[in-house]
Amino acid sequence: MTGFRAKSLASVPERPRERLLAQGAQVLTASELLAIILRTGVTGCDAVSLGQHLIDKFGGLRGLLAAEADALLAVHGLGMAKVAELLAISEINRRALEERLQAGKLMDQPDTVRQYCMARLGHLRIEHCVALYLDSQYRLIVCEEVSRGTLTQASVYPREIIKAALHHHAAALILAHNHPSGVSEPSRADLALTRHLRKALALVDVRLLDHLIVTANEATSLAELGQL
């Protein structure tokens, strides 16, 4: 009986969970990794196929992890439990990036800054603007939303940013906002705001290090463009 049982189990293909434990997560495809989280599929669609459907629907893993609850709940096969797990993973990813920014100088990890801002802003459907307030060692103190606008523009008030910078005892900050259009090229308004904010912050001895224009797929640095 024992031999028959071992033979039967050996004939069953390894599922993603067993392969992950035996060989490591790196051997799995993105859809297989999602299948481990989803656990079950729906009628006519197993968990791996459902995972691939989500990747295709949201334009990749980044889009899926940035999706809002209502968009996820609208997908057939995703109930509240699965949606909650996906949202939790997205937030864990964002907080892990945030921890890296709090532990080390932002100037030494520009790619992490970009990833963090893209994770926070990249797939939002209206324009949001955040400020990353930094200490004298350029480590992240806190990231706060400073405005939320329409599809095309947001109202940013430099005096509110200065007030928050003084409250957090910030020595510097990075501004970031998203372009829901998907085009990361800075507008004239973006450039004008950057110049105005840089001059205003200088009056209270706070340095504007950068202004990032964020889309789902990239983040353009005005500092790198020489526009700061």
How many folded domains does the chain comprise? 2
In a domain, residue 112? The reply is yes
pLDDT of residue 211: 96
The pLDDT value recorded for residue 154 is 66
Q: Are residues 33 and 64 in the same domain?
A: yes
Distance CA 128, CA 87 (A): 19
Q: 36 with 109, same domain?
A: no
Structure tokens, 189:
């308004």
Whether residue 200 is found in the same domain as residue 118:
yes
Look at residues 92, 120, 153 and tell me which one is the last residue of a structural domain: 92
Residues of the chain whose pLDDT is less than 70?
1-14, 150-154
Residue at which a domain ends, from 92, 120, 139: 92
pLDDT at 197: 94
Please tell me the predicted confidence (pLDDT) of residue 152. Answer: 59
pLDDT at residue 124, rounded to an integer: 84
pLDDT for 2 equals: 42
Question: In terms of domains, do 119 and 157 share one?
Answer: yes
Q: Whole domain around residue 53: which residue ranges?
A: 2-92
Give the global pTM: 0.76
